Amino acid sequence: MADIDITSLGKVFAGTPALQDITTRFEDGEFIALLGPSGCGKTTLLRLLAGFDMPSSGTIRIGAREVATATKMVPPEERNIGFVFQSYALWPHMPVRRNVSYPLEIRKLTKPEIAAQTDAALAATGLTEYADRMPSDLSGGQRQRVALARCLVSAPDAVLLDEPLANLDVALRASMQEVFTDFHKRTGATMVYVTHDQAEAMAMADRIAVMNQGLIQQFDTPQTLYERPKNRFVAEFVGRGTVVPVKAIEHDEIQLHAHILGTRIAVKSDAQSQVSHVCLRPENLSISETGDLRAKVARVTYLGGKYLLETVSACGTRLLAETRAKFDVGAQLGLTITTPWAFSED
Amino acid sequence: MQSALQKGGSRSEYRLLSAILILALCLTLAPVLRLFIEGVTDQGAPSLSLVKSVLAQDSTLNALKHSLITAGLGTLVSVVLGAAFAFLVALTDLRAKAALVFCLMIPMMIPPQITALSWTQIMGPSSVLLKTLGIAPPLGAPQPLYSPEGIILLLGIQHMSIIFLTLRAGLRAIPQEVVEAARISGARGFRTWWQVVMPLTLPSLAAGTAITFVTALGNFGIPAMLGIPAGYVTLPTLVYQKLAGMGTTVLAEVSVLAMLIGAVAIVGILLQRFFQGRQNVYLVGSTSRPLAIPLGSARLPVEILLWAVVFVILVLPMFGLLATSLVPAYGVPLRFDTMTFASWGEVLFRQPVTARAFANSFSLALGAAVVLMIICLPLAWLMERHPTRLSRLFDSLLDLPYALPGVVLSIAMILLLIKLPFTEATLYGTIWIIFLAYLARFFAVMFRPVQASLKQLDPAMAEAAQSVGAGLFQRLRDVILPLSAPAAAAGAILVFLTAFNELTVSALLWSSGTETLGVVIFNLDDSGETAMASALAMTIVFVVIALMTLIQLFSRRFPKGVVPWQT
């Protein structure tokens, strides 16, 4: 068990910065997700934490120990961390049991200890009956569980997961999410989970670090990320919605008002007078004949039980609304905006 | 150094990489460098006077001319034979392709001196086979193979497999869609081949031709067995004759000759690299299903023709060899009442020289295979993980000792080891000089298959072990070694096979007591003991075919690109 402290961490690959000056802290026992589009630096950060790569600048601390600086680092084999790979990285020449017991062999435990702990890890991941199979005889989900059992058995301080569900089908992903959550509850280990799938991150993580272009854009709980995005990138990357610029703001003692899309509406924010943009989520928009602005339906997508309407307002802005009633493409309707989130973008 | 540390995690890996890399560099490139220095210096001072005087000799120029003629025309024969087989096997619906490919590989694996010996047994007045059949030319008629034409023919047959392999690999890389698109557009048989397939394979054909020329140029066994009796001297045999006749006093002179061969060879190698680099640049598409253009009613005649060629170039000479090995004295016709295993018994059990040669060749080949495996496995893996400037340089040069003619490497080895630095000791004349030469020469034979298999290995395999606490040697032992074992085994068998049969290097490096099998066959034939030479050659052919069959049987378990004849 350990917290992870990252100070001014940077990584340059062949002259191109992959990570820029990251300073953050993952608390002991937290489930952290690193979320971002491909190439945002999330996997680089994870590999630096594991020790597979060496930082170009900054320091990483796991627990009380400084594990990496730009000049020296503790090699991965001495860090006591677990790593779950996207490709599972099971050793194809070893049966399931040996794949799981290998970390214990390395630690030079006695034979009975190894057997007991391996059995416990296999039982915890529901693999007892597959113990003597070879990895090639297992399905994708079973292989992923072997990889988890291999992590579990060595009682790591932190577990790092690199898009572990990317190679699985949709149905299996849901059940594996449960496996990961259970694993986290049982071990209490600090977990860092890299993904580009926001639904996965939202479902499992205590806190999500949204990354883009080698920087952490915002690091907050899933709710805060969705409801109170700090900037345009986070607002557009997390959840559905449209970011529109603010023309003018006025505020009295109780309420902040913003002029957007030609109307004046009440908004929430923590930036007060500096707000520059508003994030309009479907739940901020309701359809009514007497709405603040007029819009035309451009596309209708059935979501199951409700419809997602892509509408275009009179001034040409694309707005997303959800409704239970069906509208036809081309229909005119009125939209009312209720207290959306406003933020300041530099 | 900086970039390696940036990319890789572990310093111990980098230290090990440097250590093995330096060892491998000394082993493979130091001799070549030493030879170069010898050629351009005179008693320690830079000078080109020796080069000038050697190049001005008539014998040098003659040998150069003979080498270029035989290697050039021999390559032409290889291209015609190898390309015809490659196109037919890779593009059409012939049956039993695997068997055909296997048989075509055998000429490459049989040592050249045995090829030459076996062919002389089916031609000429003293051929046991022809006498038995009653069609031998009269006594006193010349042996037709003791001529430039004979050398050209056998060089062509010996190296047709190289053309066949490179061209077939190039053909396999052509996506089937390319040919299918041509056919859907209305192009028929010959037109598809000429306008679509041929232009796409020209680079690999050119690359194969260049490397075949280099190999033919360096061939010692065939021109030695056929050319020396005819007084037709090529550069490798000239070096051999000078060194055998006058010993190490002519070392400086033969160094210049070796450099001359090396220079011609390097032009060929550079050409090969150039064409290989131009290969398959724009080709996209699936290559999973091999092409199989139906030959229709022509299929059976084509099959009969191909197998007939295989019979003539492979089976017939072996029959000749076998017949000669079974007669009591050279020249006696083979009948049931004259048939005897006396020669076999003599070479296999009674002659101390052959027993010694078996022991020497066996231990040299086995030792080279084991040592090279120990060096190449960690080196290939570390080079894959931490590509540094030095390791990339080494990667591009490590084929040199194998690609360069064996004569060049032998002379280089003598120069390097005749007087060990800081001591009065010498390795010349001991078995160790042959061993070190084998390590240098067969380094690439071991390294390339291992490298091919490690390139396909997921780097996460080793990282997973690292993350659970396995140190460098534990990772090598528990993960890398078992996963690349099939490729390493295939490489080791190939090294064993080539080293076991080797003649060119040992012909220049042997002395009494350190004979190899190749040298013994050569000497037996040279001293007229043809029946015994044939029996020994037959034994080696059996060993070769047995080892090749072993690789073939396990070929399914090897990763792609490991078995050289299964591209």
User: B388-408 pLDDT, tens per residue?
Assistant: 888 888 888 888 888 888 888
In this predicted structure, which of B5-19, B118-132, B296-310, B349-363 has the lowest mean pLDDT? B5-19
Express each pLDDT in A27-63 by its tens digit: 999 999 999 998 899 999 999 999 888 899 999 999 8
- 3-class state of residue A245 by DSSP: strand
Q: Does A339 score more than 60 pLDDT?
A: yes
Q: For residue B454, what is the DSSP state?
A: H
Task: Tell the residue number behind the tokens 């800081």, with chain if given.
Answer: B422
Angstrom CA distances, B480 to A93, A135, B291, stand at 10, 17, 35
Residue that is last in its domain, among A180, A204, A232: A232
A268 in contact with B, Cβ within 8 Å = no
Q: Is the domain of A36 the same as that of A123?
A: yes
Q: Which structure tokens are listed for B438?
A: 């084998």
Q: Which structure tokens are listed for A106?
A: 């390395």
- Bridge partners (DSSP) of residue A13 are A16
pLDDT at B43: 65
Q: Is the domain of A212 the same as that of A277?
A: no
Q: Taking residues B13-17, report their average pLDDT.
A: 84
Q: Does A232 score more than 80 pLDDT?
A: yes
The half-sphere exposure of B81 on its side-chain side, counting CA atoms within 13 A, is: 27
Kindly tell me the number of DSSP H helices and DSSP E strands found in chain B: 29, 2
Residue B282 banded pLDDT, cuts 50, 70, 90: low
- 3-class state of residue B82 by DSSP: helix
A157 in contact with B, Cβ within 8 Å = no
Q: Which residue of A has its CA nearest to B7?
A: A53
A118 in contact with B, Cβ within 8 Å = no
Helical H segments across B423-529, by residue range: 431-455, 460-467, 472-475, 481-500, 504-509, 517-526
Express each pLDDT in B435-459 by its tens digit: 999 999 999 888 988 888 888 888 8
Q: Does B517 score more than 80 pLDDT?
A: yes
Phi-psi region of B462 (alpha: psi -120 to 50; beta: other; left: phi over 0): alpha
Domain boundaries, chain B: 10-281+299-337+384-557
Q: Which residues of B touch A160 (CB under 8 A)?
A: 467
CA distance B229 to B537: 20
From B6, B460, B483, residue closest to A85, measured CB to CB: B460
From B5, B460, B466, residue closest to A77, measured CB to CB: B466
CA distance B205 to B195: 15
A109 in contact with B, Cβ within 8 Å = no
Question: Quick check: A53 and B11 CB within 8 A?
Answer: no
Chain centre to alpha carbon of residue A116: 35
The answer to whether residues A59 and A7 touch, using CB atoms and an 8 Å cutoff, is yes
Nearest-Å Rg of the Cα atoms of chain A is 24
pLDDT at A1: 61
Q: Which residue of A has its CA nearest to B464?
A: A89
Return the amino acid letter for B88: L
Question: CA geometry: angle at B398 spanning B393 and B401, to 5°?
Answer: 140
Here the contacts of B361-367 (C-beta below 8 Å, separation 24 or greater) are B361/B499, B361/B500, B361/B502, B361/B516, B361/B517, B361/B518, B362/B500, B364/B431, B364/B434, B364/B435, B364/B438, B364/B499, B364/B516, B365/B438, B365/B495, B365/B496, B365/B497, B365/B499, B365/B500, B366/B496, B367/B435
Chain centre to alpha carbon of residue B420: 29
Nearest CA distance, B4 vs chain A (angstrom) = 10
Q: Is the domain of A150 the same as that of A178?
A: yes
Write the secondary structure of B186-255 as one string of H (helix), E (strand) and C (coil): CCCHHHHHHHHHHHHHHHHHHHHHHHHHHHHHHCCHHHHHHHHHHCCCCHHHHHHHHHHHHHHHHHHHHH
Residue B5 banded pLDDT, cuts 50, 70, 90: very low
Q: Is the domain of A85 the same as that of A185?
A: yes
CA distance B519 to B345: 19
Kindly tell me the number of DSSP H helices and DSSP E strands found in chain A: 8, 21
- Bridge partners (DSSP) of residue B46 are B41
Question: Quick check: B466 and A56 CB within 8 A?
Answer: no
Q: Does B370 score more than 50 pLDDT?
A: yes
Q: Is the domain of A283 the same as that of A203?
A: no
Q: Is the domain of A51 the same as that of A177?
A: yes
How is domain B10-281+299-337+384-557 classified at the CATH fold level?
MetI-like fold (1.10.3720)
Domain CATH number, residue A317: 2.40.50.100
Residue that is last in its domain, among A182, A200, A232: A232
Q: Which residues of B touch A17 (CB under 8 A)?
A: none
CA distance B161 to B105: 6
Q: Which structure tokens are listed for B344?
A: 């076999």
Residue that is last in its domain, among A232, A261, A280: A232
Q: Is the domain of A159 the same as that of A42?
A: yes
Q: Does B290 score more than 70 pLDDT?
A: no
pLDDT at B560: 62
Nearest CA distance, B288 vs chain A (angstrom) = 22
Q: Which residues of A touch B478 (CB under 8 A)?
A: 91, 102
Angle at which helices B148-172 and B58-91 cross, to 10°: 40
Q: Which residue of A has its CA nearest to B5?
A: A54
Nearest CA distance, B10 vs chain A (angstrom) = 6
The answer to whether residues A280 and A337 touch, using CB atoms and an 8 Å cutoff, is yes
Q: Does A283 score more than 50 pLDDT?
A: yes
Residue-range definition of the domain harbouring residue A70: 4-232
From A80, A89, A150, residue closest to B463, measured CB to CB: A89
Q: Is the domain of A63 the same as that of A164?
A: yes
Q: Is the domain of A161 the same as that of A63?
A: yes
pLDDT at B166: 83
Nearest CA distance, A249 vs chain B (angstrom) = 49
- Bridge partners (DSSP) of residue A297 are A311
- Bridge partners (DSSP) of residue A34 are A194, A209
CA distance A161 to B299: 57
Q: Which structure tokens are listed for B139?
A: 């006594």
Q: Which structure tokens are listed for B208?
A: 């194969």
Q: Is the domain of A80 the same as that of A182?
A: yes
Domain CATH number, residue A95: 3.40.50.300
Angstrom CA distances, B189 to B192, B205, B302, stand at 5, 20, 15
Burial of A193 (C-beta count, 10 Å sphere; 0-12/13-18/19+): buried
pLDDT at A42: 92
A31 in contact with B, Cβ within 8 Å = no
Express each pLDDT in A116-168 by its tens digit: 999 998 988 889 999 999 988 888 889 988 998 998 888 888 999 999 888 78
- Bridge partners (DSSP) of residue A16 are A13
Percentage of chain B surpassing pLDDT 90? 16
Q: Which residue of B has its CA nearest to A67?
A: B9
Residue B279 banded pLDDT, cuts 50, 70, 90: low
The half-sphere exposure of A227 on its side-chain side, counting CA atoms within 13 A, is: 7
A99 in contact with B, Cβ within 8 Å = no
pLDDT at B7: 41
CA distance A92 to B557: 13
Nearest-Å Rg of the Cα atoms of chain B is 25
ipTM, interface predicted TM-score of the complex: 0.74
Q: Tell me the DSSP string of A143-181.
A: HHHHHHHHHHHT--SEEEEESTTTTS-HHHHHHHHHHHH
Q: Is the domain of A179 the same as that of A201?
A: yes
Q: Does B292 score more than 80 pLDDT?
A: no
Nearest CA distance, B98 vs chain A (angstrom) = 28
Angstrom CA distances, B174 to B79, B291, B293, stand at 20, 9, 14
Element (H or E) spanning A301, and its range?
strand A293-302
CA distance B371 to B490: 15
> Percentage helix, strand, coil, to 5, in chain B?
75, 0, 25
Q: Does A286 score more than 70 pLDDT?
A: yes
- 3-class state of residue B175 by DSSP: coil
How many structural domains comprise chain A?
2
From A85, A93, A107, residue closest to B483, measured CB to CB: A93
Q: Taking residues B467-492, report their average pLDDT.
A: 86
pLDDT at B73: 96
The answer to whether residues A125 and A179 touch, using CB atoms and an 8 Å cutoff, is yes
Backbone angles phi, psi at A266, to 5 degrees: -80, 135
pLDDT at B1: 35
Nearest CA distance, B19 vs chain A (angstrom) = 20
Q: Is the domain of A327 the same as that of A194?
A: no
Q: Does B543 score more than 60 pLDDT?
A: yes
Backbone angles phi, psi at B491, to 5 degrees: -60, -40
Return the amino acid letter for B337: D
CA distance A79 to B467: 8
Express each pLDDT in A234-257 by its tens digit: 999 998 888 988 888 887 777 888
Angstrom CA distances, B164 to A17, B18, B326, B404, stand at 47, 38, 34, 21
Phi-psi region of B43 (alpha: psi -120 to 50; beta: other; left: phi over 0): left
The answer to whether residues B27 and B440 touch, using CB atoms and an 8 Å cutoff, is yes
CA distance B431 to B368: 12
pLDDT at A119: 93
Residue B44 banded pLDDT, cuts 50, 70, 90: low
- A65 Cβ contact partners less than 8 Å away, ≥ 6 residues apart: A74
A76 in contact with B, Cβ within 8 Å = yes
pLDDT at A45: 94
From A92, A150, A160, residue closest to B468, measured CB to CB: A150
Q: Which residue of B has its CA nearest to A82?
A: B467
Q: Does B139 score more than 80 pLDDT?
A: no
